[in-house]
Amino acid sequence: MMKEISLEGKTALVTGGASGIGYAIASEMIDAGAEVVIVGRRADKLQEATEKLGDRCRWYQFDVTHVDEYDQLLNQVDEKSPVDILVNNAGINIKKDFFDFRAEEFDRIVETQAKAPFMLSQAVAERMKERKSGNIIFISSLATILGMHEIQAYTVCKSGVKGLARSLARDLGPYGIRVNSLNPGFVYTDMLEKTNLKTPERLKEIEEKTPLKGFTQAKDLGMAAVFLASDAARFITGIDLVVDGGISSSFLI
């Protein structure tokens, strides 16, 4: 293995790491040699994931919208080793007609998908700054490239974090902190399960229209996250890395 791709000696904090894409990122980072801390809201899910992920994984029950508790969380994590890699992965979605969207639903999505990644990155970068190195990854979405049906508030947030990665790449670069976003194609997770993409016809249609044929696997995001976080990407910052089998770069008709 190319030595630059190794994450040995690094500690990664993955929010929402007990399931879906977050779990796959945690798993690939562990395989690449990192220590991984996963956080989420449900202790049973975190416990179960940690048992599968092995000795180099630990967990804290933590709701990312609890902005006032970030320092407490980071102090606990730092006791073992400070965070070298932050993956802002935790997310929710509400899919509904634009005209039915209520302000409190908008706020709920923004709190999890925009405010939390923004404020947690600030709290973690404050500590990375002292050490003159660090790596932050946001998860964006194809909704930042293609207009998608009934996910307007989600699109606002995902476009926001994609822009934030660029903005922070500029502001945090001088401190040796790289910041990028990862843009997944359709990945079959709990979140996708809740959308209208789950019918066999829709799934087949997506698979067929994808130039590389098939669905993006969570592991594909895991491997891309390892690359972005590793020294193999040491001069890459401010990009949105699309992992979608070519969907967004193709004319699908």
Residues engaged in binding ligand NAI (CB under 6 A) = 15-16, 18-22, 40-41, 63-65, 89-92, 112, 139, 141, 184, 186-187, 189-192
* Comparison of 129 and 219: residue with beta carbon closer to ligand NAI: 219
Return the number of the residue (32 or 139) whose C-beta is nearest ligand NAI.
Answer: 139
Comparing every residue's Cβ against ligand NAI, the nearest one is 20
Cβ at position 61, least distance to ligand NAI in Å:
9
Least CB distance to ligand NAI at residue 186 (A): 5
In angstroms, the CA 152 to CA 97 distance is: 9
Closest approach of ligand NAI to the CB of residue 189, in Å: 3
- Please give the positions annotated as active site: 154
- Tell me phi and psi for residue 109, to 5 degrees: -65, -45
**Matching residue, tokens 């904090």:** 13
Closer Cβ to ligand NAI, 21 or 85, answer by number: 21
Instruction: Give strand pairing partners of 177.
Output: 134
| Token representation of residue 152 | 């307007």
Contact 132, 154 (CB under 8 A): no
Q: Supply the minimum distance, in Å, between the C-beta of residue 200 and ligand NAI.
A: 17
Q: Where are the alpha helices (DSSP H) in the chain?
A: 20-31, 43-53, 70-80, 103-110, 116-131, 152-172, 190-193, 200-209, 218-229
Which of residues 186 and 227 has its CB atom nearest to ligand NAI in the complex? 186
